[in-house]
Amino acid sequence: MHRRDNDLQRHFTRRALVLGGGQAALMGVLAARMYYLQVVEADRYALLADENRINMRLLQPSRGTIVDRFGVPLAINRQNYRVLITSENTPDIEQTLNRLAHIIPISDDERARILRDTHKRRNFVPVTIREFLDWEEVAKIEVNAPDLPGISIDVGQRRFYPDSVTVAHVLGYVASVSPDDINGDPLLETPGFRIGRSGLEKKYDLALRGRAGASQVEVNALGRVIRELERKEGQSGQELVLTLDVELQRFAAERLGEESGAVVLIDVETGALLTLVSNPSFDPNNFTEGLSTAQWQALVNNERAPLRNKAIAGEFSPGSTFKMVVALAALEAGVLDTETTFFCNGKLRLGDGLFHCWKREGHGKVHLTRGIRESCDVYFYEVSRRVGIERIGDMARRLGLGANFDIDLPGERPGLIPTPAWKQAVIGEPWVTGETLVSGIGQGFVLTTPLQLAVMVARIANGKKALQPHLTRDRAVDATLIARTTDDLPDLGINARHLDIVRQGMIEVTTHERGTARRSRIGEEGMEMAGKTGTAQVRRITRRERAVRVLKNEELPWKARDHALFVAYAPLEKPRYAVAVVVEHGGSGSKVAAPIARDVLREAQLRDPAAFAPGTTTASRASTDTTDS
């Protein structure tokens, strides 16, 4: 018995030693590890702990506003009420969403997206349910807050365009950041941030964005915010001041009405663009909030192309508005003068081809001033044949046609002033004389934009400098800046007497009893305008149609109708404004485009604070002429 006790004692002692040694070894390892962490790596882990404790969060800056020349806001920021859900604060997300759906509609797609986002994110991170709530919806949610655990209202900013469709093509719009836009800028990754997608919003996006602020917050180990330690507000985006007069812009848009086309009004002295209307338009506010598939398809599939800025990207045959170019080219080349006449019997034969005048019975004996005044096609066939396409093209480019002015709007098109070299390179065929005749009346390959036509007539009215159109006001505000800008521009290099001759023809278009726009004249003394009508064919007229006149323009399908054009400047003494109106498939330039141009020019002069009393802003609607061309 005693021996057995001794054996048990020895076994217990050995086990105790083994266990004690193991414990000692473990404690030694732990002590060594603690020494390593607390002494050797103390500085590193102290830094990591501090970084985990303090988080930096970006604060979105206010986007810069856009205003017209008088400071009227065109693009501003409004409060954006958003409803959020935080999953850790609600016992049942789906039940909470069901209750909320009785206050604001939540579609099945939205519900699926919300549930997906709440499962992806940590439970203390809010998820957006809906943006752009109105005040009534916010009030309803706040009243029912006790029954909506986890639901909260957040206030941010959204872009808003007060005049929406009136200036949509100029301003463009903002939209959400796509994955392709991410470039390392953390601001682009903040929730709800939007960037410029078209127009000036896109061109000046970086300047309008501003600089982000920062908030330094203390968080716990899970990342939940405990308190804000420091806050540095961001810098708002720059204000963009335009040369546009939004009142004139509205007037021109209303005057264009339901027609598809463009109206461009430019200051003859400075090149400042006062109106830049394209119709039909769209509501940029819809893009801010996000278009549905149906809305997008409706815009894309509309045959009148509401998304295209026709003022700068619509390329149209200029029709008879091009005849001033041909006249100046011929005068400068010395191939005719004011006494040179040609006889118009309604057509001109060239080889096997027959080229018709718009007036079937012809104009008879025509000189230059009458040729412009009554828009005789046969006269300008003869003139263009004598002067040649090269000299016509050179004069067109001097007057601003075929140019890209880079007015800060994306999508500007250069049009086309053709040459024999261009045709050979692009089409692979030589130039023929008949194409010169057709180009001489602004048809054939010749293409221009409404902006170019406005610049053309502004340069003719100015007669001195090759003024450049511009849309942002920093290039055209005070007199010193205006003088410096115009002094730096190249001279037109056109004989002043030749310009006077062409201007006289334009004056007679609206003042002479046989002028093609006589009935669209401005009646007020001192406000009269000079102009030129244009009607551009979009299809070839068959011999049978020409013989019997089967269908009138208005009886044809919309896309088969002629384009209606009119260019003008006013007043006659010391011209100040120039306008170009293009009505797409509008028919006759004298019937449709000229009255619009008249009213816009009259309104511009009535609004001129240097010449007329404020508050007088009503344009009359005179009867329209039935003369063609």
C-alpha span between 193 and 289 (Å, rounded): 12
Which stretch of DSSP H or E encloses residue 73? Answer: strand 73-85
C-alpha span between 319 and 450 (Å, rounded): 12
According to DSSP, the β-strands at 194-198 and 261-267 are unpaired
Are 197 and 325 members of one domain? no
Task: Look up residue 481 and give its amino acid.
Answer: L
Q: Is 9 a domain residue?
A: no
* pLDDT, position 458: 97
Are 537 and 569 members of one domain? yes
Alpha helices in 243-292 (DSSP H): 246-256, 284-289
Q: In which residue ranges of the chain is pLDDT below 50? A: 47, 222-223, 475-484, 612-628
Report which of 626, 338, 346, 294 is spatially closest to residue 500, judged by C-alpha positions. 338
Are 446 and 566 members of one domain? yes
Residues of 259-273 as b/e, b for ≥16 C-beta within 10 angstroms? bbbbbbbbbbbbbbb
The structure tokens listed for 138 are 């916010």
Are 425 and 553 members of one domain? yes
Residues 6+ away with beta carbon under 8 Å from 24: none
Are 465 and 560 members of one domain? yes
* pLDDT, position 162: 94
Are 78 and 224 members of one domain? yes
C-alpha span between 582 and 601 (Å, rounded): 15
C-alpha span between 396 and 387 (Å, rounded): 13
Which stretch of DSSP H or E encloses residue 275? Answer: strand 273-279
- What residues pair up with 235 in beta bridges, in sequence order? 211
Please say which residue of 203, 220, 241 terminates a domain: 241
SS3 state at 135: helix
According to DSSP, the β-strands at 342-344 and 151-160 are unpaired
* pLDDT, position 135: 86
Are 361 and 491 members of one domain? yes
Segment 481-494, tens digit of pLDDT: 344 455 677 888 99
C-alpha span between 386 and 494 (Å, rounded): 19
* pLDDT, position 482: 41
In total, how many domains does the chain have? 2
Q: Is 4 a domain residue?
A: no
CATH number of domain containing 66 = 3.90.1310.10
Q: Is 617 a domain residue?
A: no
CATH number of domain containing 460 = 3.40.710.10
Q: Is 65 a domain residue?
A: yes
Q: CA dist 514 to 110, 337, 342, 365, Å? A: 66, 21, 18, 14
Are 414 and 340 members of one domain? yes
Are 305 and 389 members of one domain? yes
Counting other chains too, the contacts that 225-228 makes at CB distance below 8 Å and 24 or more residues apart are 225/55
* pLDDT, position 546: 55
Q: Is 41 a domain residue?
A: no
Task: Look up residue 612 and give its amino acid.
Answer: F
C-alpha span between 84 and 53 (Å, rounded): 25
Q: Is 622 a domain residue?
A: no
The structure tokens listed for 299 are 């815009």
* Residue range(s) defining the domain that contains residue 472: 246-606
Q: Is 29 a domain residue?
A: no
Q: Is 46 a domain residue?
A: no
Q: Which residue among the candidates 320, 375, 384, 520 is catalytic per the annotation? A: 320
Are 359 and 220 members of one domain? no
Are 586 and 443 members of one domain? yes
Q: CA dist 154 to 7, 58, 103, 289, 584, Å? A: 78, 16, 17, 16, 47
Instruction: Return the DSSP state at 89.
Output: G
Are 377 and 450 members of one domain? yes
The structure tokens listed for 532 are 């030129």
Please say which residue of 241, 261, 278 terminates a domain: 241
Is 320 among the catalytic positions? yes
Cα–Cα–Cα angle for 553, 559, 560, nearest 5°? Answer: 45
Q: Locate tokens 């919003």: which residue?
A: 201
The structure tokens listed for 78 are 């409004």
Residues 6+ away with beta carbon under 8 Å from 452: 400, 401, 402, 403, 415
Please say which residue of 221, 241, 261 terminates a domain: 241
